[in-house]
Amino acid sequence: MPPLAETRHAAMRRQQRAIPPFVVGLLMEQGASMRHDGAEVYYVDKEARRRIRRTLGDRIHVAVEGYLDAYVVCADDGRVITTGWRTARLRRT
């Protein structure tokens, strides 16, 4: 996995919200995505959970399962703008 390209804001928020860089990369590689307000939002839906479980195996999946409610917002240039925790369902626009 290449090094994480993120803004200073994203690095600060990721640290404040206790989301490891590994999880950000995992969401961007294996998660579902949608466009929202001119950015790409990566998150985990049912199919992505299955994909992650197949890719990582049961033991590692159990270890990262608590992080799978996180989301990542990326700019069009691929840099991470922010990260956070989903507290409600993402609405498609």
As given in the structure block, the two tokens for residue 66 are 């608590």
Q: Which residues contact 89 (CB under 8 A, 6 or more apart)?
A: none
Q: How confident is the model at residue 93 (pLDDT cuts 50, 70, 90)?
A: low
Selected residue with higher pLDDT from 90 and 8: 8
pLDDT digits (tens, 9 = 90+) for 1-30: 456 789 999 999 999 999 999 999 999 999
As given in the structure block, the two tokens for residue 69 are 């409610």
pLDDT digits (tens, 9 = 90+) for 27-44: 999 999 999 989 999 999
Eight-state DSSP code of residue 65: G
Please say whether the beta carbons of 29 and 73 come within 8 A: no
Enter the pTM of the model: 0.87
| Average pLDDT over all residues of the chain | 90
